[in-house]
Amino acid sequence: MKIHTLVLGVLDTNTYIVEADDALIVVDPADEPDKILAKASEIGKPIGCVLLTHGHFDHCNAAKRLQTCGAKVLMSKTDYEMIENGLDLAEFCDVKFNKFVPDEFIGEGQIELCGVKIDVLATPGHTAGSLTYVMGDNIFSGDVIFYLGVGRTDLPTGDGNAIIRSLKKLFSLDGVVYTGHGRATTMKFEREHSVYVKSNE
């Protein structure tokens, strides 16, 4: 499975473009849609769908534009409600938020998009509706887990106890972790080096 990474927007968010056979899946279209669309045409496949890990503006500010171009946008209902309550943090960062309406709400379970089987895990803590997407041994964690770190839990709907439970859940997986910001890592490395969850817990 070929995965392309673009670093976009004011908070240097990772936007991932996953190549399926006939289409592309974009995880967290951060911003700067022209760059995402240019990459897609360079690859030569249409963007079939957009998966959002959570509702912070820096992970979804290009969703509207990609949707206009024909992509289907999926996210958790809980985090869409967070957006509707004005808690997407765009105003806080002085960024104009491009409002959108998701095509489908998803939660924990298995889905299939563009011919790719995807395990959706509910991983609350950074936001209440944060989702992690697992495609084979590729794990898209949004802002739940970072290289040697975890996401902030002091923002609206954040929860410090919930993120520890989510980390434990993620540590039962193996694979490459594509994080929301910064470098990718592996679940094995994070499990072995985590200062948040001890391996014997």
Least CB distance from residue 50 to Zn ion, whole Å?
16
Backbone angles phi, psi at 48, to 5 degrees: -80, -45
Indicate the residue among 128 and 197 with the shorter CB distance to Zn ion: 128
**Strand pairing of 138-142 and 145-146?**
unpaired
Question: Which positions lie near Zn ion, rule CB under 5 A?
Answer: 56, 143
Least CB distance from residue 87 to Zn ion, whole Å?
11
Nearest residue relative to Zn ion (C-beta): 56
Indicate the residue among 48 and 158 with the shorter CB distance to Zn ion: 158
Q: How far apart are CA 84 and CA 71, in angstroms?
A: 21
- Whether 111 and 75 have beta carbons less than 8 Å apart is answered as no
Indicate the residue among 48 and 125 with the shorter CB distance to Zn ion: 125
Q: Which of 86, 89, 164, 155 is closest to 124 using CA atoms? A: 164
Q: How far apart are CA 106 and CA 111, in angstroms?
A: 9
- Kindly compute the dihedral angle of the four CA atoms of residues 145, 150, 154, 158, in this order, to the nearest 10 degrees: 30
Indicate the residue among 31 and 143 with the shorter CB distance to Zn ion: 143
Indicate the residue among 19 and 79 with the shorter CB distance to Zn ion: 79
Least CB distance from residue 89 to Zn ion, whole Å?
7
Least CB distance from residue 194 to Zn ion, whole Å?
20
Beta strands in 92-158 (DSSP E): 104-105, 109-113, 116-122, 131-135, 138-142, 145-146, 149-150
